[in-house]
Amino acid sequence: MGALTLSNGFGRNVLSNPKKKLGIALVGLGNYATRQLAPALLETNSCELKGIVTGTPSKIAQWKKTYDLKDHQIYNYDNFDSIAKNDEIDIVYIVLPNNMHKEFTIRAFEAGKHVICEKPMAMNAEEAAEMILSGEKANRELFIGYRLHYEPHHRESIRLCREGAFGKIKFFEGGFGFRLGNPNQWRMKKAYGGGALMDVGIYVIQAARYTMGEEPIAVSAKEFKTDLVKFDEVDELITWQMEFPSGAVANCTTSFSASTNHFFVAAEKGFIRLSPAYTYGKISGFTKDTTFEFNQVNQQALHMDGISDYFLKGQPHLNVGGDEGLRDMKIIDAIFASVNQNGKRILI
Ligand code: NAD
């Protein structure tokens, strides 16, 4: 799979303090940090949990107990910047609501740390570009929480597509959506960067881009709402079409009311289908010729190890850099622009 390994080429993979395992600090101890990332850090070989940043003091005792953390490894949002003085922490992992990603990424860079920021990396492409610039100025690296690049079904799908196993790709169809229950959470608020497209539609944009191996040149999108009260602030369901330079096309859907989790890549002589495609649990898939039989992996552990090995061993990381996040934000901006203009075709 060597052809798939891409470094972002910034060349800032120099550690000030060479060590065997990198220290990661999690910022925001919500669902994803608590249920996925922290447990994954017990399975990583090249990084470990060395700090937490939380605005909720009542969470601290349990985290200290579970992860053997000491007082000097606990931060809040106000004293976060003093993390600069903590040499145990090499990478700050931002797991906050989307509207807080930019601020904490920039503060982490200013504290001299490398950053992994959750998806979507920002509220829009303008913010994403600022975050990248801030990393360049600080001479530190930015990565996005794109765990699926390290997942075997996705890696194999990319390989088959890159090698033209089924000829030229002509068509992609994909969707990721679920019924969002609690209407009072930040995912339902526009100011927090809520909505289905930002939350899960981004996975479909990713999959279309990395299977087709091209960047879309135009997008047309429409939004559909069945519950105007629940979805008064954010999108309930969006369908969008992306046009690629080769003439290939992608039809995509995202939703906070309908359950879907799949992609289908159609080429001249065959196809690849994954369903479920984007979950942390078991992913399944088949091609025209074979059924995939990959074991379930810990995607978060592989992702964080992949990034850590880039620093520790100089191994190229997969395509999970800030530049990749910015490309997605430009597409998301174009999708919203099209929705706001009743499906007008927007050039990217
Ligand atoms: P969550 O609501 O469970 O956690 C958010 C955390 O931020 C909480 O600890 C909360 O206390 C804290 N917070 C600080 N200020 C806040 C404020 N003003 N309002 C609300 N919360 C505030 O969310 P989550 O599901 O853990 O998502 C966090 C980030 O991780 C999001 O960017 C999300 O897109 C991303 N995520 C990624 C994946 C993935 O598979 N890569 C999965 C889930 C979530």
- For all residues of the chain together, what is the average pLDDT? 95
Contact status, residue 274 vs residue 285, Cβ threshold 8 Å: yes
Return the pLDDT at 6.
35
263-311, pLDDT tens digit by residue? 999 999 999 999 999 999 999 999 999 999 999 999 999 999 999 999 9
Helices (H) and strands (E) in the chain, counts: 10, 14
Instruction: Determine if ligand 1 sits within 6 Å of the CB of residue 96.
Output: yes
Instruction: Determine if ligand 1 sits within 6 Å of the CB of residue 186.
Output: yes
Contact status, residue 115 vs residue 140, Cβ threshold 8 Å: yes
Q: How far is the CA of 184 from the centre of ligand 1 (A)?
A: 14
Return the pLDDT at 15.
59
Return the pLDDT at 4.
32
Integer Cα distance of 35 and 245 in angstroms: 40
Q: How far is the CA of 159 from the centre of ligand 1 (A)?
A: 32
Integer Cα distance of 165 and 334 in angstroms: 31
pTM: 0.95
Integer Cα distance of 329 and 335 in angstroms: 10
Instruction: Name the residue among 116, 333, 307, 324 with its Cα closest to residue 206.
Output: 324
Q: How far is the CA of 263 from the centre of ligand 1 (A)?
A: 26
Q: How far is the CA of 135 from the centre of ligand 1 (A)?
A: 22
Atom 17 of ligand 1 has which residue's CA nearest to it? 97
The residue to mutate among 96, 127, 298, having the most atoms of ligand 1 within 8 angstroms of its beta carbon, is 96
Contact status, residue 265 vs residue 211, Cβ threshold 8 Å: yes
The residue to mutate among 27, 31, 58, 147, having the most atoms of ligand 1 within 8 angstroms of its beta carbon, is 31
- Helix (H) or strand (E) run with residue 93 in it: strand 91-94
**Catalytic center residues:** 119, 203
7-58, pLDDT tens digit by residue? 333 345 555 566 889 999 999 999 999 999 999 999 999 999 999 999 999 9
115-170, pLDDT tens digit by residue? 999 999 999 999 999 999 999 999 999 999 999 999 999 999 999 999 999 999 99
The percent of the chain in helix, strand and coil, each rounded to the nearest 5, is 40, 20, 40
All domains in the chain, ordered by first residue: 5-147 (3.40.50.720), 152-295+319-347 (3.30.360.10)
Return the pLDDT at 290.
96
The residue to mutate among 95, 151, 185, having the most atoms of ligand 1 within 8 angstroms of its beta carbon, is 95
Return the pLDDT at 17.
60
End-to-end CA distance of the chain: 30
Instruction: Determine if ligand 1 sits within 6 Å of the CB of residue 191.
Output: no
